[in-house]
Structure 1
Amino acid sequence: MVVSKVFIDTFGCTFNQADSQIMAGNLVENDFEIVNSIDDADVAIINTCYVKQPTENKVTNRIQKLKDQFPELKVIVSGCMVEIDPKKLNKIAPDTSWIGPHQLNKTTNVVKATLNGEISRECGFSKDTKVGIPKIRFDELIHIIQICEGCLGACSYCCTRFARGTLNSYSISEIKKEAKGALLDGCVEIQLTAQDTAAFGKDTNEKLSNLIKEVSGLVNDPEINNDFRIRVGMMHPNNIGDDLDSLIEAFKHPNVYKFIHIPIQSGSDSVLVDMRRGHTVKEYIKIVNRFKNEIPNLTIATDIIVGYPTEKEEDFKKTAEILRELKPGLIHLSKYRHREGAPSSVLDEIPHEVMKKRSKYLTDIKSEITEYENKELVGSIQKVLVVEKGSKGGFIAKTDSYVPVVIEDVEIGKFVDVKIYEATSTYLKGVKL
């Protein structure tokens, strides 16, 4: 029997990576082979991200380039673009099959039809679970679990919610079962991911804090004989409030990375109202300070949108002040761009030169903060988990605060003690003790 080979090219977030692993699992169960090179493939699935304009450009360029360079290759498009912008997708690739992000269980059907010369398009929403189903792990030591899909938000700049839909949480018992299976397979890191992990359970009367406690408690399971860490994905501040105390206690568990990703997007209350974020700057600061006071070694990650259409100079200055006050250890900056279907897209964008200037100003602040925070760790002894090989040599490990450390002569998947001897704005350098 001739086995068809499939290459999956993934853009975007951790959740999208997990979607690709589900598609791979569906295909392998049906006797397809997943390959690591486009040159070896009969079919290529482009799993798209559409959250930002630069990513959209990369995705559309990739689709067009593949069709031009590999005319015999069968190309299938999956991911958020399928639901958000089918009109553009149909324009750049009119003869291409599609797999919507809620139709992953039909991946094999779409691939088979495409190989037979048909155009197969599986789109639309469903409440099918993404937990406890076959997946092909692309990193044998890190396991991603999607704890819920969709969100409760109405952010004016966002188009992702049009692809992911309303909140659909999966059960704690099933998530814990999948996590245990991954740990028994030798995984050392469990990543709990969602569009908004803080929204988890608000449709099922379960809580994120309880989920974290249940998964971290697996360290006491007699069948689990390897240490591990849990990374919790992005939390919208608007959904944390009623679970704040329990969440802080959950994050104190030694097996949970002391790392929280809480986007603020702007330091101006008036802009936050225009963005439809549903929280104030004061409410955000209260949450972050509670976490920092209870967990001193915590790394805070946040997101900032530079140049929202209603952002005035005084609004921008407030954002800069908030960053200097909170000193997040990780800051994701994005220049505002209109997104397909997003309510803010009817507004006039601010001049490009103004946006570029503001972005540069915040980038400088970001570098100052992160370099200062990292230099504070020079000379310290850190227990780190080695997670991958470095692209420029050595190995990449993560501290308990999820700060990357470059080290030599270690084994992937192991915990080691290192002494930090150098710091940059993005990573540390350490030597194994």
Structure 2
Amino acid sequence: MKVSIETFGCTFNKADSQIMAGVLAENGMELVDNAEDADVIIVNTCYVKQPTENKVTNRIQKLQKHYPNKKVVVSGCMVEIDPEKLEKIAEDGTSWIGPHQLDKTADVVKAAYEGKTERDIGLSKKTKVGLKKVQSDDKVHIIQICEGCMGKCTFCCTRLARGPLHSYPIADIKAEAEQAIKNGAVEIELTAQDTAAFGHDTHEKLSDLIKEVAGLDGDFKIRVGMMHPKNIFDDVDGIIEAFKMPKVYKFMHLPVQTGSDKVLKDMNRRHTIAEYKDFVAKVRSEIPDLTLATDIIVGYPTETEEDFEETIKLLREIKPSLIHLSKYRHREGALSSSLKEIPFKVMKRRSKELTNIKEEITEEENKQLIGKTLETLIVGKGSKGGYMGKTYSYIPVIVPEAKIGSFVNVKINDATSTYLLGEIVD
């Protein structure tokens, strides 16, 4: 039996697909790269944003239309968040599997192949560390350090699929990282719905985890995934100490979502703008080369023009190196979905204004690096040619020629709002 897996969404979802591929391989099933060659097609769904939901639903319907003799199995967040919609768009008898039931992937796929319907859903405390993974890139290794979260953000539906926080033991995570490095990995990505929540349920700390992994032998870098600001504030010094370690990218993804304290409260984010700014200022004073990434939701239902101006003010003040913008949309099961959305024209105008500010800030930040020589880890081929690397601050840089997995010095010759251009020097 031949099986293909199509993955939508975040790094965590990508790791889920690698685990499913591992389960299939252990059960003697052949993995193929595209739907055309497969007998069964798994669509690993994401449901965090409306545009992604549209892509997912369109893809499921397109596969069923174009490959009537193949079986489609649906996995991922959609299965837990919106089974009613899935029932409407999927063919009768479509099998699916929830993100907590990955160990049953082979059973579900086999049942689908035989024309049977099997649906395994529901939350669990099963570990996702140390499991066999099949991955196309052995240089970058993803480790899920915990699943679920501690928050109840009003705009979020992902928590409904991932459940309450469940952290995995530091010893198990360290063991997986050590094995990955022995197998040739040069980048370890620690991922979760909120990495800053790690250990709050097990009395361990994210800072201790980072230090343990960063203390392993070998030439590699660690990328720490998204951190909810509120969950860092009880270990500020520990986090800064961990991020100072040579093997840790000087990169923090800290979503602020809005510059308005009022809207933050409406979102139930549990932190204030003053707390966020104080933390950023302290980290930057200790780690001057820090790359700060943040997320902004444009047009939350209670966002007024005054609130929007506060967001502009905040961005111009803290100047994040990376800004991820999302237009607000109601999500299935999210508390804010009961509120009235703001007019689309207003949303579009605000989004465009922030996009311009975003590009202005990030291009200015990147252009300051022109002429500098930066240590860079080459992680893969560029999407438009050349080779793509990451500086020690996790800024993407494109060079004409390089060996994947190598650490090189790159002189920066040019910059855009999204990446740097350079050449390798001795």
> Could you tell me the TM-score, scaled by structure 1's length?
0.97
CA distance in 1, matches of 2:401, 2:135: 25
Match of 2:26 among 19, 29, 50: 29
Partner AA of 1:118 in structure 2: K
Per the TM alignment, residue 33 of structure 1 is displaced from its structure 2 partner at its CA by: 1.2
Aligned counterpart for 1:152 among listed residues 128, 150, 153: 150
CA distance in 2, matches of 1:218, 1:251: 15
Q: Residue in 2 aligned with 1:89?
A: 86
Superposition deviation, residue 138 in structure 1? 2.5
How many angstroms does 1:39 deviate by? 1.2
State the Cα deviation string for residues 367-409 of structure 1 (Å, max 9, x = none).
0000000000000001100011012110000000000000012
The CA deviation string for residues 20-54 of structure 1, in whole angstroms up to 9 with x for no partner, is 00000000001011111111111100000000000
- 1:110 paired with 2:108, answer yes
Pairs within 5 Å for 1:13-412: 13-93=10-90, 94-219=92-217, 226-412=218-404
Per-residue deviation, 1:95? 2.3
Letter in 2 for 1:34: L
Q: Map Cα deviations across residues 270-306 of structure 1 (whole Å, 9 max, x no partner).
A: 0000000000100111111111110000000000000
Q: RMSD over aligned Cα, in angstroms?
A: 0.6
Tell me whether 91-100 or 192-201 shows the greater mean CA deviation.
91-100
Residue in 2 that maps onto 1:222: none
Query: What is the rounded CA distance, in whole Å, between the counterparts of 2:96 and 2:2 in structure 1?
Result: 18
Q: Distance in 2 between matches of 1:229 and 1:285?
A: 27
- Could you tell me which amino acid in structure 1 is paired with residue 114 of structure 2? N
Structure 1 residue 156, shift from structure 2 partner: 0.3
Distance 2:232 2:136 in 1: 31
* 1:115 aligned partner, one-letter code: Y
SS of 1:112's equivalent? helix
Give the aligned residue type for 1:174: D
- Output one character per residue of 1:242-291: Cα deviation in whole Å (capped at 9) or x when no partner: 11100000000010000000000000000000000000100111111111
What do residues 184-204 of structure 1 show as CA deviations (whole Å, max 9, x unaligned)? 000000000000000000000
Partner SS, residue 250 of structure 1: helix
The CA deviation string for residues 57-82 of structure 1, in whole angstroms up to 9 with x for no partner, is: 00000000000001011100000000
The alpha-carbon deviation at position 344 of structure 1 amounts to: 0.4
The CA deviation at 1:230 is: 0.2
User: How many residues end up aligned between the 2 structures?
Assistant: 424
Alpha-carbon distance in 1 for matches of 2:257, 2:266: 11
Task: Give the letter aligned to residue 387 of structure 2.
Answer: F
What's the secondary structure of 1:419's corresponding residue?
strand
Structure 1 stretches of at least 4 aligned residues deviating more than 6 Å after TM superposition: none
**Which AA in structure 2 matches 1:183?**
I
- Paired residue for 1:223? none
1:430 matched residue in structure 2: 422
Unaligned runs of 5+ in 2: none
Distance in 2 (CA, whole Å) between partners of 1:417 and 1:341 is: 48
> 2 CA distance for matches of 1:278 and 1:16?
26
Render the CA deviation track for 1:328-363: whole Å, top value 9, x for unaligned. 000000000000011100100000000000000000
Distance 2:233 2:18 in 1: 33
**Structure 1: which amino acid aligns with 2:355?**
T
Separation (CA, whole Å) in 1 of partners of 2:214 and 2:134? 23
For structure 1, the 5+ residue unaligned runs are 220-225
Q: Structure 2 length as normaliser, TM-score?
A: 0.99
CA distance in 1, matches of 2:393, 2:244: 11
Q: What's the % identity of the aligned pairs? A: 66
